[in-house]
Amino acid sequence: MNQRKGKLIVFSAPSGSGKTTIVHYLLAQNNLNLDFSISATSREKRGAEIDGKDYHFISTEEFMEHKKNDDFVEWEEVYDNNFYGTLKSEIERIWSEGKHVIFDIDVKGGLRIKKKYPKETLAIFVQPPSIKEMEKRLRNRKTDSEEKIIERVNKAEREMKYAKDFDIILVNDDLNFAKKEAYNLVEKFILKN
């Protein structure tokens, strides 16, 4: 990556904490000059997700080939046989356009990016007000089976232990406030040399 480096803005959180909504809000703020890092995943599409926009949907075999070729900045088996990863080419693409990269990524992946790019990265952990509220949000989405919701809730309890390793913990108990707070944090970090 020899072009001018931009900043890396990492948003990680358990499912149902509102991180994706916050990331979409920030992407709509043109003055922040952000572009979304599209993760690669071996999982099936959900709902109205679009290949190349929401994720790069690839087979497990393709994922393993990229892994073998060291094409990932980070990767993780987030759920059984569901792999997610950030391709180096995604960061290079966005930086070559003179923009900053924003990630909506799992907790371990977010921390790996922070470790690889400590000076360029702002890592924000979006915390739901409670596990009970997070479970309610997951149910209201109506995109997952009961089994998947239970799996996500159990995973969230483990993920919350990593919150302390992030630069900022942003509690999302009021979405409008969380969006404004996220905007202020990102703007300040981008303007910092």
Q: Which residues pair with 124 in a beta bridge?
A: 11, 168
Query: Does residue 2 surpass a pLDDT of 50?
Result: no
Q: At 147, which amino acid appears?
A: E
Cβ neighbors of 115 (< 8 A, separation 6 or more) are none
- Determine the CATH number of domain 8-191: 3.40.50.300
pLDDT tens digits for range 44-89: 888 889 999 889 999 999 999 999 999 999 998 877 888 999 999 9
Cα–Cα distance for residue pair 98/131, rounded to 1 Å: 38
**Whole-number pLDDT of residue 193:** 64
pLDDT tens digits for range 84-131: 999 999 999 999 999 999 999 889 999 999 999 999 999 999 998 878
Residue 101 phi, psi dihedral angles, 5° rounding? -95, 130
